[in-house]
């Protein structure tokens, strides 16, 4: 591995707790503030601390050709950094990696600078890191599409005829993308039972999760000029965990013929730290074989995805601790991120810095890897058994869902942290 | 009518050309600049001129309780104005109406101020007036849904079972909303013919228009707190003409099961001047009877829509002048704007100032009122005949589409101007 920032032998002068998702090889970006009156700014998670990149910028420590003299980190979102492109991202990463490393005295030996630039993570408030222009949700797990298709149309017609040719997706709602920790209220809406003549209004009774990941677009493209599949990875800044909340009963009634709308627009939760593609590089791997071969504009050779272990836990109000209910992996996805981005822009659709493209529910081949309660409970027919004798088909009020993501290889490990959310009862 | 700004006898000291869509009763907002180096700012169209609201603001002429001391018009978008809410909108409108009226000397008799604040419209560049956070497209014309349903499923199953209960909609793409005058490039994409075994890649051969209107949200709502239907109109700032470009062949192959995606994301064109609901007040009317009665959260009494005459013309490269091909009316829509906004937010989905909600194709009961080429040519089976012997099913390169909107009542008339677009060939 030629990039020294991912060298597994690299050590920070900071003490990184065992099992931290944020060793010096990770360096994910977020947006934080210490008090509600302080301006939000860009930081990097390192162990149990946050490195204040704005403080480094103010001291002109980003002095490379792409960053010198620019105001990129003293900002309330990552969008300006995302817009700069990969050369600038790598310059920033190399600088931060160096400043945090054990062998570099500049920050290590300057108590004043350390006091200004390193803040315990427990003392900061994390904010939504990106101003998301457009949010798109793909449907790129073959196993998920097959599971859902089997439930609704039977095993013989499970996969739609377009699915193996088109990275199917729909436009989502960007205003309601919220951060981990923000409680989500059970939505109200129209539903219709099969045994009733008309629709009724009330709280959703089939509130579900979707285990997803999402990536943020970097520089983007001009309207009318697609991003070729071979150039697409360069345009991706980094990734987060995504819980794409879904009201299955609202969805079932509303979605024909234009797709899910209210069933998805009440909230989408993301993890606060954006892990860059540079940090993920050591965990690169091949995706599933694609047969039939995609059309040329979607052909992508080599290791174009990443080995990211994903887990989901559920804790009801009665449970003393969370119980893992899902174990999946990002590598199961049939369509990779480069293909998603190339497809999204093939019509000329312009992508902007900060656009969020999510994967769709990440299910795998095993039962344990089903990425939604809809699949886990097989549309409510097979309740999930929990410690203490409780069961769940869909979510109850007070339930807490936590998703985590880890990359592990040899002795090294980096993590995404978590996206954790509690369900509030509907408005009375 | 108690609002003096819509009084039909009101006259401006400016000469308003006969047939201008922008008499003093209209006062639509836009964003403009005179040169590419000048900062964009908010203006109001009046006759053949633009009133520079930022110039008035700089002279502290907006001195009412909601606007005094604020920087609202010296801005590159209408979003700050939209965020202020209806009291501020009415204060601004009353002030502008007064300043432009024949009986008010302040602007009329001050040559210096007139020179600074009134600019010939031919000398300004109009820009996208709003920073659109999220764009949503409804499907609220019963006639359009019935026409499309009849073509695809036959007359007996034309309308989906949910349609008369749910204001069906889907999330669109906000990045590719462009202004009138911006050429639109024919998109490339995957399509599949019924007589071929697999998909092919190439330019869309069924490029279509959709005659729509859209409204911009004002103050919006917090996540989790729906906008009641009775409060919804107060939250609407104003309206524009919308051409929601559609690639029917791409749509047909991709849209199952999550709805249209690439078929719609390459461009949506809007007219540059936002006509406020206050200006539309005299043209208020009742919509179609709603049977079955909507669920309580969608019930809206009285005259909740507007009589807006809509026309679409087509001009091919060979034609000397445009030919009208569609005549419809906004009042045909089954679901009104208040119902759309209440429905959109009923789950708690948060709406932000500047969000765009479009109506869906506005078709009416007559053949001439079909709002898309798909319907006009009945899926390509009945070509549209044009002067000079040309015919069209879908659009050819070089074709120009122009949509206009007018409100007329008694002797008074206000207009939306136009949204006009030329089709460029696909990238070679």
A28 and A53 both lie in a single domain: yes
Same domain, A119 and A157: no
CATH number for position B85 = 2.30.30.230
CB contact under 8 A, A261 and B133: no
Answer yes or no: is pLDDT of A234 > 70.
yes
Using the 3D structure, point to which of B67, B102, B127 is the last residue of a domain.
B127
| Chain A neighbors of B421, CB-CB under 8 A | none
Distances (CA, A) of B164 to A263, B140, B157, B289, B377: 18, 10, 13, 11, 26
Contact (Cβ atoms closer than 8 angstroms) between residue A305 and residue A286: yes
Question: Same domain, yes or no, for A299 and A252?
Answer: yes
Question: For residue B422, is pLDDT > 90?
Answer: yes
pLDDT confidence of residue A428? 75
The two beta strands, B188-191 and B200-203, are antiparallel
Number of domains, chain B = 2
Mean pLDDT score, B230-243: 98
Chain A CA closest to residue B166: A254
pLDDT in tens, B365-404: 999 999 999 999 999 999 999 999 999 999 999 999 999 9
Smallest Cβ distance to A346: which of B162, B188, B258? B188
Assess whether pLDDT exceeds 60 at residue B126.
yes
To the nearest whole angstrom, how far is the Cα of B297 from the nearest Cα of chain A? 8
Same domain, A146 and A118: no
- Which of A261, A266, A352 comes nearest B171 by C-beta? A261
Tell me the shortest Cα–Cα distance from B65 to chain A, in angstroms: 27
**Could A190 and B139 be called an inter-chain contact, meaning their C-beta atoms sit closer than 8 Å?**
no
Best to test chain B binding among A257, A290, A427 (most B CBs inside 10 Å) = A257
Identify whether A292 is preceded by a cis peptide bond (ω within 30 of 0): yes
Interchain CB distance below 8 Å, B174 and A266:
no
Question: What value does the mean pLDDT of chain A take?
Answer: 97
Residues of B in contact with A168 (CB under 8 A): 254, 257-258, 261
User: Are the beta carbons of B258 and A168 separated by less than 8 Å?
Assistant: yes
Cross-chain residue pair A165–B134, CB shorter than 8 Å: no
Per-residue pLDDT at B300 exceeds 90: yes
| Cβ-Cβ contacts under 8 Å, B351 against chain A | 175
CA distance B410 to B394: 37
Average pLDDT over residues A291-302: 96
Average pLDDT over residues A405-419: 95
Neighbours of B154 (CB within 10 A): 9
Beta carbons of B349 and A174 less than 8 Å apart: no
User: Residue A1 above 70 pLDDT?
Assistant: no
Give me the CATH number covering residue B420. Answer: 3.90.850.10
The pLDDT, as a whole number, for residue A157 is: 86
The reply to whether residue A254 touches residue B347, judged by beta carbons under 8 angstroms, is no
How far does A395 lie from chain B, in Å, by closest CA? 16
A2: pLDDT strictly greater than 90: no
pLDDT digits (tens, 9 = 90+) for B3-33: 999 999 999 999 999 999 999 999 999 999 9
pLDDT, mean over chain B: 97
A165 is catalytic: no
B379 and B418 co-located in one domain: yes
CA distance A400 to chain B (A): 18
Contact A61, A76 (CB under 8 A): no
Same domain membership, residue B417 and residue B279:
yes
Distance CA B72, CA B78 (A): 8
Q: State the smallest CA–CA distance between residue A314 and chain B in angstroms.
A: 23
Smallest CA–CA distance, residue B129 to chain A, in Å, is 16
Q: Which member of B266, B349, B352 has the closest CB to residue A265?
A: B349
| Per-residue pLDDT at B396 | 98
pLDDT tens column, B62-91: 999 999 999 999 999 999 999 999 999 999
Do B192 and B111 fall into the same domain?
no
Candidates B162, B169, B348; nearest CB to A185:
B348
Model pLDDT, residue A410: 87
Q: Which residues contact B164 (CB under 8 A, 6 or more apart)?
A: B290, B291, B292, B334
Of B127, B143, B163, the position where a domain reaches its end is: B127
- pLDDT category of residue B2 using cuts at 50, 70 and 90: confident
Q: B72, B97, B127 — which closes off a domain?
A: B127
Same domain for B145 and B190?
yes
Are B269 and B304 within one domain?
yes
CB contact under 8 A, B165 and A297: no
- Chain B closest CA to A52's CA: distance in Å? 29
The answer to whether the CB of B336 falls within 8 A of the CB of B303 is no
* Torsion angle (degrees, nearest 10) of CA B335, B336, B342, B344: 60
- B224: which chain A residues are within 8 Å (Cβ-Cβ)? 185, 266, 424, 427
Q: What is the pLDDT of residue A233?
A: 97
CA B82 → CA A299, B98, B241, B371, distances in Å?
45, 21, 18, 29
B287 pLDDT higher than 70: yes
Confidence band, pLDDT 50/70/90 cuts, at residue B428:
confident
Residues A163, A140: Cα–Cα separation, whole Å: 9
Tell me the chain A residues in contact with residue B132 when contact means C-beta distances shorter than 8 Å.
none
In 3D space, the residue among A259, A217, A247, A254 whose CA is nearest the CA of residue A344 turns out to be A217
The CB density around residue B42, as the number of other CB atoms within 10 Å, is 26
Q: Which neighbouring-strand residues pair with B270?
A: B179, B242
**Cβ contact (<8 Å) for B349 and A188?**
no
Decide if pLDDT at A196 tops 90.
Answer: yes
**CB contacts < 8 A (A, B):** 194
Tokens of A182: 């923000």
Q: How far apart are the first and last CA of chain B?
A: 57
Sort out which chain B residues have CB atoms less than 8 A from A140's CB and list them.
none
pLDDT in tens, A321-332: 999 999 999 999
DSSP A176-240: TEEETT--EEPPEEEE--TTSSS-EEEE-S-EE--EEEEEEE-S---TT----GGGTGGGEEEEE
Contact A48, A122 (CB under 8 A): yes
Using one digit for the tens of pLDDT, what is the confidence trace for A46-100?
999 999 999 999 999 999 999 999 999 999 999 999 999 999 999 999 999 999 9
Verify whether the Cβ–Cβ distance B266 to A201 is below 8 Å: no
pTM here is: 0.98
For residue B295, which residues of chain A lie inside 8 Å, CB to CB?
190, 199-201
Neighbouring residues of B176: CB distance < 8 A, sequence distance ≥ 6: A223, A349, A350, B265, B266, B267, B268
Q: What is the pLDDT of residue A77?
A: 98
Per the CB < 8 A criterion, the answer to whether B44 and B28 are in contact is yes
Q: Is the pLDDT score of B321 beyond 60?
A: yes
Sign of the CA dihedral A357, A360, A365, A369? positive
- Put simply, the answer to whether A225 touches B162 (Cβ < 8 Å) is no
* Domain around A110: 4-127
- Report chain B residues whose CB lies below 8 A from the CB of A357: none
pLDDT in tens, A360-384: 999 999 999 999 999 999 999 999 9
Residue labelled with tokens 């604040």: B117
Q: Do A91 and A196 have their domain in common? A: no
Q: Does residue B152 share a domain with residue B27?
A: no
Q: Find the mean pLDDT for residues B127-141.
A: 98
Counting runs of H as helices and runs of E as strands, what totals does chain A give?
Answer: 11, 26
A389 and A294 housed in the same domain: yes
Calpha distance B186→A351 (Å, rounded): 18
The per-residue pLDDT for range A109-161, each reduced to its tens digit, is: 999 999 999 999 999 999 999 999 999 999 999 999 999 999 988 898 899 99
Mean pLDDT calculated for residue range A296-311:
97
Residue in A with minimal Cα distance to B256 = A160
pLDDT for A64 equals 97
Q: Give the closest of B162, B255, B296 to A253, CB-based.
A: B162
**Please, which pLDDT band fits residue B153 given cuts at 50, 70 and 90?**
confident
Band of pLDDT at residue B410, cut at 50, 70 and 90: confident
């Amino acid at each position: 591995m030629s990039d020294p920032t991912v060298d597994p032998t690299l050590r920070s002068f900071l003490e990184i707790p065992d099992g931290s998702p944020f060793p010096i090889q990770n360096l994910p970006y977020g947006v934080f503030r210490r008090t509600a009156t302080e301006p939000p700014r860009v930081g990097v998670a390192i162990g149990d601390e946050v490195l204040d990149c704005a403080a480094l910028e103010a001291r002109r420590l980003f002095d490379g050709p792409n960053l010198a003299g620019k105001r990129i980190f003293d900002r309330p979102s990552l969008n300006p950094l995302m817009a700069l492109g990969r050369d600038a991202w790598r310059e920033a990463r190399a600088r931060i990696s160096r400043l945090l490393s054990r062998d570099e005295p500049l920050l290590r030996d300057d108590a004043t600078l350390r006091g200004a630039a390193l803040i315990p993570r427990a003392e900061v408030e994390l904010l939504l890191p990106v101003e998301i222009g457009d949010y798109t949700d793909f449907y790129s797990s073959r196993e998920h599409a097959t599971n859902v298709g089997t439930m609704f149309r039977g095993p013989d017609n499970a996969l739609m005829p377009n699915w193996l040719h088109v990275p199917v997706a729909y436009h989502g709602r960007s205003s309601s993308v919220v951060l981990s920790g923000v409680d989500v209220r059970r939505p109200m809406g129209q539903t219709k039972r099969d045994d009733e003549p008309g629709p009724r209004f009330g709280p959703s009774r089939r509130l579900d999760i979707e285990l997803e990941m999402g990536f943020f677009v970097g520089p983007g493209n001009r309207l009318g000029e697609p991003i070729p599949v071979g150039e697409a990875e360069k345009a991706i800044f980094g990734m987060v965990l995504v819980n794409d909340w879904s009201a299955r009963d609202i969805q079932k009634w509303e979605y024909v013929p234009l797709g899910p709308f209210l069933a998805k627009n009440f909230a989408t939760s993301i993890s606060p730290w954006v892990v860059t593609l540079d940090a993920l590089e050591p965990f690169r791997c091949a995706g599933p074989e694609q047969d039939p071969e995609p059309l040329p504009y979607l052909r992508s050779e080599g290791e174009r995805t990443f080995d990211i272990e994903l887990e989901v836990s559920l804790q009801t109000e009665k449970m003393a601790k969370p119980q893992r209910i899902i174990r999946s992996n990002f590598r199961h996805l049939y369509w990779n991120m480069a293909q998603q981005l190339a497809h999204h822009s093939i019509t000329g659709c312009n992508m902007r810095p900060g656009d969020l493209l999510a994967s769709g529910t990440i299910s795998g081949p095993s039962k344990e890897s089903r990425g939604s309660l809809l699949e886990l409970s097989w549309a409510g027919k097979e309740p999930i058994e929990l410690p203490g004798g409780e069961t769940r088909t869909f979510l109850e009020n007070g339930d807490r869902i936590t998703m985590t993501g880890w990359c592990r290889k040899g002795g090294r490990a980096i993590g995404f942290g978590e996206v954790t959310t509690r369900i509030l009862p509907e408005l009375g």
